[in-house]
């Protein structure tokens, strides 16, 4: 959900999307009630990917989400580390 052009809230649902939107629009005690003015949605077919995609989006954008997702680090292969170090060398 966005407030003007800024991402405001990122969420997911397994219920019908219209029910989730309805709750955000009509329940005044909803934490994001009246703080957004449009939304975008996309379908993630594999349920096992939903948490990871949501966490990545929350981590990548400043939002009103209260959760602080943890994304498991992926070790960088030694070959890649050496290649990056080589690119950083300053040539005089």
**pTM (two decimals):** 0.53
**Span 34-60, pLDDT tens digits:** 777 888 888 888 877 888 888 888 887
CA distance 80 to 58: 27
What pairs with residue 38 in β-bridges? 2
Determine the Cα–Cα distance for residues 70 and 3; give it in Å rounded to an integer.
25
Report residue 20: phi and psi, to 5°.
-65, -45
Range of the domain at 72: 2-88
Enter the DSSP assignment of 38. B
Domain total of the chain: 1
Cβ proximity of 8 and 1 under 8 Å: yes
What confidence tens digit (pLDDT) does each residue in 9-27 have? 777 888 887 887 887 777 7
58: its two tokens? 């929350």
């Amino acid at each position: 959900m966005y407030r003007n052009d800024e991402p405001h809230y990122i969420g997911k649902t397994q219920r019908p999307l219209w029910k989730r939107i309805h709750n955000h629009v009509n329940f005044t005690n909803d934490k994001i009630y009246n703080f957004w003015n449009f939304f975008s949605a996309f379908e993630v077919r594999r349920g096992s990917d939903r948490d990871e995609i949501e966490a990545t989006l929350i981590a990548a954008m400043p939002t009103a989400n209260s959760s602080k997702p943890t994304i498991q680090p992926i070790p960088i292969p030694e070959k890649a580390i050496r290649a990056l170090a080589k690119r950083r060398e300053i040539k005089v």
